[in-house]
Structures are given as C-alpha cells and as structure tokens.
Chain A
Amino acid sequence: MPNLNPAKKVYDVCIIGSGAGGGTAAKVLTGGGLSVVLLEAGPRLNPADDFKEHIWPYELEHRGAGVGGTSRLQLNNEFMAPNGFWDIEGEPYTTAPGSTFRWFRSRIEGGRTNHWGRIALRFGPADFRARSTDGMGDDWPISYEELSPYYDKVESYIGVFGTAEHVPNSPDGVFLPPPRPRCTETIVKKACDSLKITCIPSRLAILTQPLNGRPACHYCAQCGRGCISAANFSSSQVMIPIAQATGRFTMIANAMARELVVGKSGRVEAASYIDKTTLRESLVYAKAFVVAASACESARLLLNSRSSSFPDGLANSSGVVGRYLTDSVGSSLTGYFPQLAQVQAHNHDGVGGMHMYMPWWRFGAKNEFLRGYHIEFGGGRHMPGVGGFDGVCAEHEGYGSALKQKCKSAFGTFIGFSGRGEMIPNEKSYCEVDPNVVDKWGIPVLRFHWQWGENEAKMAKDMQGTFRSIIETAGGTVFAGSHRVMQSNGISEGGTVIHELGTVRMGNDDKTSALNRNCQAHDVKNVFVADAAPFVTNPDKNPTLSIMALSWRTSEYLLDQARKGEL
C-alpha cells in the first residue's frame, strides 16, 4: 500500500471513470458546488478529430475492416467511436477452465457511451422486487418509485425519444417525439399486430428536437461512430463539458486506477493510479470516492485495494464483490423479406438504431421461464459495409454477373432480430482477481467464471420461436445463408451483449451486499459505486439509463452529506 502524504491538495470527490455513471456524477457533484477530480484510463476525446461520422468506407484504406481485416465482422470496426475493444493490448483478462466470457472495455473519455446503442429503457417496478415476485434472486433495497424521479431528471437532461404506451412493467418516461418508422419497421409492426406482440416506438437517447443547446438529429444513422454535433447522448459530450464549465472539475486522463488507499481514519484518503504516459504511480487525494469504472473494472479496483484492515479487498467484508455477475441473454435470427426488394431506392438511414421495438409483452402471463425479454430489430437499406454480403455470397455462391445482380437485389432485404433477456444471477458466474496474471501496468487482472442457467436457455429458445413466427407472418423467410447467422441460433456468449453488471451489489444486509441503499460501501462510508456494479437484477432493459439515474441519486445523496458536513 502506498504511503500517504497529507500535505497534498485534497479534492472534495474523486471519481474513477468518465462513462455513463462517472459522467453523471461529475455533472451533479460539480453542479452542487463540490470540487471533483476524475481519473480516466484513456485519453481525452476530441469528437471533431476522433469521430468518423459521415465518412464513406472508400475513404478509409481498410474500408472499415481494420488492419489485416481483423475487425471485419466485429463491433469495433474502424468506424466505431474510438477505443472500444474486446481485447486491449497489454491489458488481458482470463477465463477459468470451462468458462467463456468476453469483456468489452473502453479506454477513452466518455467510455462506452461514445458508441453505445442509445437504448434508454427504464427498469420496471417488478424488476426491483424480483424475489418478492417469483422467489428467485433478490429484491433491490430501493423501489421503482424511489428511482423514478431520477429517471425523470436524466431523461429531461439528456433527451430520450419515445411514446407513452402504458406497457406493464416497461414504464413510460419523459419523451421527445419519435422518428417516423422505416419500411422494415412498418412491415414488422404489421406482423406483430396480427401476432398480438406489442411493437412500439423505441426509446433512444437521441434528440428529435433541439435540447439544452444541442441540435436535433440529422438522421445519418451513424450514432455508433460518435456524433460530432452531439445530437445523441454521450457522457463525453453531454456530461463532462457541463462539469468542466463549472470550473470545479479536473480530469486526469491516461490514469489507470490501481487501488484505493485507506488512511488511519479507516476511510479511503487517496486513489493510486498509474500515469500511462510516464508509467509513474501517483496519488490523488479526496474526501470521498465514486467508483464508476464499469461493473467488472470497479470490482477489480476494490478487490485489488487490499490492506491490513481489508485483507479481502475494500468494501468486501461480505465477500460478494465480483459475485452475482450477469449479462443479458442474447439470441438472434435474420429474415429475408422479398417485398423489400420492390421498394424504390430511398433514404432509409434514420437515427442510429431502431425506430421501433418490442418490449416484453407477456409480463404476468404464465410462461415457460421466469422474467422476460425484449426484441430489437434492424436492417434494410443502410450504408453498405464490409462483411455485409457474406450471407448472400454464402447462399448464392457462384460468381459473375449473376452474383452481382443477386447482391443488388438482396441489398436492403434483410431484417435481423435480437432478443435481450433477463439473466438470473447464479453461483457459477462471477469474477475474481487472477492470482497469477498482471497487466502491463502491474495491476492484477480479472478471471471470469461463467455459466448460463436453465432459465436463460429456455428464454433463448423462446426467442428463436418468436423471431421465426414474426419473420414468417411478415412474409419473410428465415435466412440461413451465412454460417455466422446459423451459429447465433443459440444463446450468446457471456459478456457479448455488453450488459455485464451486479458485481458490487447493493442491499440492506451488510452480510449479503457490499453497498447500502445509497450505493455507499457498508464498510467504508466515503466510498460509493456509481456504474452498473450496484445492480441487484439485470432486467431485459438495457442498463445505461438506470446507471445514470442511480448515479444521479447517489450523487445527490453525497451532496446532501457534504452539506451536512459529513464528508
């Protein structure tokens, strides 16, 4: 443990991580008058230089496939907003024998909010009362009603489009008007109506009207590349600048947090970090610490913060840090829709994501499995990209004019469906510090253990049946032309939906949870966690909006503590 130097500058709050949770905390805490220092493991972001919005594939030497074509079929293709990777050079993680888990990390100001899907769904009342509802998992220490005002604040500030629909357990929010449906969405909606599957405008953090000095969307469909005009939400463009403008905010970039250092008081007094540019280790001092490094990274930081008072890691007297790791249940299927070939060429781009989706429409019904899933879908005449014709090539084969024409007539005729379902935490899915491996900064890395449960398998099977019936009802056929598509028929690999959470969970009992109802560590009162690590359940709703709402609530609690002189 590094030696403390009490003569150094002491900030009110030190935040670790600048993504959805850290950015929200930075905005709220600086807005409330506190001085904040933020450690970000990656560089600062300059959207005008770093984002590849509006660039055509032929303007890049590798056409989006990346060096050696290695990102050809991957999420981190060249166009994506920078520094989001399945693998980061020099920063490995390991998996236990028999486990498969993939961990998507981002090392840049704003973290994964630069390229995320902008899907902004509230959790529902039953999602906070899981055990009371069906006897599995645990209840949250807070209710939907307690978090709801913070959802209001987040939505009002960042801007989310959607419509009031009164779908059970998928609450409405403060919404901007939704964009008009694309052809793909018109076709699917009609099929869903006849199947009695709820299909409604999606809820995305993209502006359809100007808001708080940001312009409305210009409908180029490239949100994943990062939006230079900030018409969609990213922490780097919407949260950090407002914190910066207060004059009370300092960001230390390229700072890889190593551990939180406990002083004689029994409270954390400093964060130790490696400056990635100089390889030197430094300390930054604060009265309170908000850990928002992403669920698994936050667990890693706590587990690596060992001291004589906390030999098993900070805030871990319960032993739950790293446990209860979940990801969303993912399953996908693609359909071919011949009627789309008859539609005239037109601008189909829209926003960077679906304009409609299917919230869980069987809530409260007797199902083969517990909990539920929602369906995302997309396709049609989007900008062609590498890998986009693999399926057509595999199905049609051959070569020459016939192949060329086949590709042309197939362009824009596919719609992909993806289910996103709730995983129930299990004993066999968790992360821990690998006893043998450190990263290039000398920090012990995580080792993942992973196993889907039976409920998840039943859910994925149900998804497949649903996709098939939607595709067929809509006049399409299941497209099995590509190996990739066929492999995705089962359940996704753990971690690949990038909704990993639950590793530093909150609860009223300090024997079974690490944080109290204010996301404050039971063991160390000046440590808070503000990403998805505190979540007790992982409902089918994508976590980002809830990360921000919970971080906002935690930050207001911290402000209140500061006003009372409790910092």
Chain B
Amino acid sequence: MRPMTQDLVSRRNVLKSLSMGAIAGSVLHVIPLQAAEYAHSMIEAEKADANGGGYTPKFFSVPQYKTLQMLCETILPGDAESGGAIEAGAPEFIDLLTSENPEYQLKLGGGLMWLDSACDDRFGNAYIDCEAGHQKEILDLIAYRKNAVGNKELSHGVEFFALLRDLTSDGFFTSRIGIKYLGYIGNAFLIEFPGCPPVPGL
C-alpha cells in the first residue's frame, strides 16, 4: 500500500481548500462529507492492511479478547437495521484505551477474570465456553444494579458490566455505522441554518 501520510495530507488540503471556498461563498455544503468519507476509507484500508485483516490485541490476551468481542456484540448486537459493536470497532477501541489506562486494566481485565470465575463456579466453564442459556443467566444478573444491592457476590460483576456497557456504547455510537443508526445528520457546510422542522404538539 502507498504511504498513508500523503493521503492524509491531501485530505487536509481538501479541508483547507474547502474552508477557503466557503470564504468565497461557493456552494460546497456536501464536499466535506466526501472528504471525510475519503479519509475514513484510507484509515480503514490501513487497518485491514495491518496483520492481514486480523487484529492483535494490545492489552487483552487472545482468549480474553474473544470474550470481550462476544460481550460487546451481546451488549449492542447487529440486527436488520445495522451492524453491531464488533463491526463498529468497539472491541479494538476498548482494547486501545485499556492498554493505556491502569484503572481500566484492573476494572476490565480483572472484570473478565471475575466473569470467568463466576461462570466456572456456577456452570463449570469459562464464560465463552458456557452454553447460551448460562451466558444469559449470568449477564441478566450483572446487567442491573438492583441485583447487587446487598449482594456481595454480584457487586463486582455489576460494576464491571456497567463500565463495559458505557465503553461499548462509546465505540458503537461514535462509529460510522453507529452514527448512521442514530440518524444524526450534520457536520456539513450550510449557507443558512434552516431551524426546527414541525414538532408534534408545538
């Protein structure tokens, strides 16, 4: 693949020339999106290029990372409307942040260990090897704060899952597919701001 730098520089030049265009009053309200899409496709191409399309986790062990991927996808799954957390790159995002943050390393790395241990106690298997029903059973326990009230057996799992849910949401809803799924429209060049369309009941 050709050097990335040049492409990113040219993307920047695109943006720069666009802002100059705006000064001249040109009607350019769609092009920045195309420029951004272009830059994104370059970044994706680079990602896919590294490691033959695979991904080597930066912090988690390979088995832990598989569990992480599975949990992320369970938290925000793909459906008829959009892809899920894995397609959105949430596990890579979480792995990156965790590799840089000792607190996350304890909470998420330790949390995954806690989960496997809790599954082993209950079902005789690590989470990833449990049958679907058992996986659901443990997640239904740790996905709600009320289950941890007065239950020291669950409180650590609940804390772990709450953080993982927040970070999975971050990873999903800041991805291209997540933003599209929400129906966000914007980040554009407008000549005029149109204001609010009709609101029911107003």
Contacts and interface: CB of A to CB of B under 8 A. Distances in A.
Contacts of A382: 184, 186
A487 interface: no
Contacts of B101: 68-70
B143 A387 contact: no
Interface string B33-58: 00110011001000000000000000
A405 B67 CA distance: 23
Contact of B77 (A383, A384, A393, A401): A401
Interface string A214-227: 11011111100000
Contacts of B171: 63
A202 to B, nearest CB: 13
A61 interface: yes
Contacts of A62: 93, 96-97
B120 interface: no
Interface string B180-193: 01111111111111
Nearest to A228: B19
Interface stretch (A178-186, A282-290, A298-306, A318-326): A178-186
Contacts of B144: 397-398
A388 interface: yes
Contacts of A59: 36, 39-40, 43
Contacts of B189: 218-220
Contacts of A205: none
Interface stretch (A28-36, A47-55, A144-152, A433-441): A47-55
A351 B96 CA distance: 33
Nearest to A483: B162
A215 B18 CA distance: 12
A308 interface: no
Contacts of B36: 54-56, 59
Interface in B92-144: 93, 96-97, 100-101, 104, 139, 143-144
Contact of B76 (A219, A228, A403): A403
A411 B199 contact: no
A384 B173 contact: yes
Given A54-B36, A388-B173, A219 B190 contact: yes
A456 B185 CA distance: 40
A64 B170 CA distance: 10
B45 to A, nearest CB: 13
Contacts of A220: 186-190
Given A68-B101, A399-B165, A347 B186 contact: yes
B64 interface: no
Contacts of B16: 48, 228
A58 B202 contact: no
Given A59-B39, A220-B188, A399-B165, A389 B170 contact: yes
A384 B185 contact: no
Interface string B1-45: 000000000001001100100110100010010011001100100
A133 to B, nearest CB: 39
B196 A347 contact: no
Interface string B66-88: 00000000111101000000000
B12 A393 contact: no
A349 B139 contact: no
B194 interface: yes
Nearest to A49: B12
Contact of A186 (B39, B43, B176, B196): B196
A65 interface: yes
A183 B196 contact: yes
B61 interface: no
B182 A411 contact: yes
Contact of B23 (A229, A347, A411, A475): A229
Give the most central of B178, B190, B193: most A CB within 10 Å. B193
B22 A215 contact: yes
Given A56-B40, A187-B202, 10 more contacts: A58-B40, A58-B175, A72-B170, A182-B195, A347-B193, A349-B188, A383-B186, A397-B143, A397-B145, A400-B74
Interface of B: 12, 15-16, 19, 22-23, 25, 29, 32, 35-36, 39-40, 43, 74-77, 79, 89, 93, 96-97, 100-101, 104, 139, 143-145, 161-162, 165-167, 169-171, 173-176, 178-179, 181-197, 199-202
30 contacts: A48-B15, A48-B19, A56-B36, A56-B40, A58-B89, A63-B174, A68-B97, A69-B100, A181-B195, A187-B199, A190-B202, A218-B22, A220-B186, A342-B199, A345-B185, A349-B187, A351-B193, A383-B186, A384-B184, A385-B174, A386-B170, A390-B169, A397-B144, A399-B139, A399-B165, A403-B76, A403-B165, A404-B77, A404-B79, A408-B182
